[in-house]
Structure 1
Amino acid sequence: MADRDFIPVRIAVLTVSDTRSLDEDRSGQVLVDRIAAAGHVLAARTILRDERAEIADQLRAWVADPEIDVIISTGGTGLTGRDVTVEAHRDVYEKEIDAFSTVFTIVSMNKIGTSAVQSRATAGVAGGTYLFALPGSPGACKDAWDEILVKQLDYRHMPCNFVEIFPRLDEHKRRK
């Protein structure tokens, strides 16, 4: 890691909740605090209700924003009728990062046992932007950041990381 310089990533945080305000958003605040502590940039932050179209529209707007590299949402990944964040993310993805869900489940199993099966955390790529959908609990946000994202969003992490392939995420759109 010593031979690579840190590259700050610009991250937007979306909290999905029918009931929380920014003052009550503990999960979003966990992410904001960890983003800053890691040396990254908070590019945007908002709260939306559990409405699939509104979530997907916000994700698309942030994907189109050249000042945002990564989007992390928290909330709406469970099994109840109002949990539509995963579907909204998948409406936007060009490619899904299937292994993120698997790794998150492994991390969660070590913390909460078989209750981990109730999460539908997911990740994908769209328009050269990474998108991550995390559960709405502060503990789940801590686990996802501390065990996965802090490493994968650090250019110095070896043998590979998400940052080093940023330039290649939309290479299919370039002329040959």
Structure 2
Amino acid sequence: MSAQTSDREFIPLNIALLTVSDTRSLAEDRSGDLLAGRIEEAGHRLADRVLVPDEYERLVERLQRWVNDPAIDVIISTGGTGLTGRDVTVEAHRAVYEKEIDAFATVFAMISFQKIGTSAVQSRATGGVANGTYLFALPGSPGACRDGWDEILKGQLDYRHAPCNFVEILPRLDEHMRRGS
């Protein structure tokens, strides 16, 4: 099992938060509010927060803008991960990814299954890496955001988390772009 080690100091990350919705505004964004609160409670910085409708091109453009911003370490989106025709968040994320973190979806599904049973098959949570930035797409419900943050991201985005975490390899995510330079 994982644990927190006390021989390392916490490293705050700059996290951008994207809500994907055709029907909500930021004022009504319970899932975004939950994630923003948890990001800040954990000691990270909320670097940016926007709401974009379920429109593939706009989502890709927003993700690319943040991926190309050296001040952003992590992007978390909420919403648009379902199965309906308007749910295109996963496709937008995958268009940006250099590498997909396949086990993120698997672990998220395992956690969801414990909470909501077979309804977990309707979620398409995903994670990946692009240009030295982590990207994670969570479903739009507050419960799913709570599970994704509390059960996976909170620990993996904490340098003190053992035996390993995303923070310790963050400086190496873009090493392939630096080779030979």
Would the TM-score normalized by the shorter structure come out above 0.5?
yes
Deviations 1:98-156 (A, max 9, x none): 00000000000011000000000000000000000000000000000000000000000
**Where has structure 1 moved over 2 Å in runs of 4 or more?**
none
Q: Which amino acid aligns with 2:27?
A: D
1:93-172 aligned within 5 A: 93-172=97-176
Q: Which amino acid aligns with 1:54?
A: R
Deviations 1:43-101 (A, max 9, x none): 00000000001000000000011111000000000000000000000000000000000
3-state DSSP class of the match of 2:161?
A: coil
Q: Which amino acid aligns with 1:107?
A: I
- Give the aligned partner of residue 178 of structure 2: 174
* 1:4 and 2:8 are equivalent in the alignment: yes
3-state DSSP class of the match of 2:91?
A: helix
- Give the aligned partner of residue 83 of structure 1: 87
TM-score (norm 2): 0.96
- Calculate the aligned-residue CA RMSD, in Å: 0.5
Instruction: Tell me, in whole angstroms, the C-alpha distance in 2 between the residues paired with 1:92 and 1:172.
Output: 16
- Give the aligned partner of residue 33 of structure 1: 37
3-state DSSP class of the match of 1:5?
A: coil
3-state DSSP class of the match of 2:170?
A: helix
3-state DSSP class of the match of 1:71?
A: strand
The structural deviation recorded for 1:175 is 2.8
Q: Which amino acid aligns with 1:73?
A: S
* 1:48 and 2:61 are equivalent in the alignment: no
- Give the aligned partner of residue 21 of structure 1: 25
- Structure 1 unaligned segments of length 5 or more: list them: none
Query: Which of residues 61, 66, 84 in structure 2 aligns to 1:62?
Result: 66
TM-score (norm 1): 0.99
Identity %: 73
3-state DSSP class of the match of 1:154?
A: coil
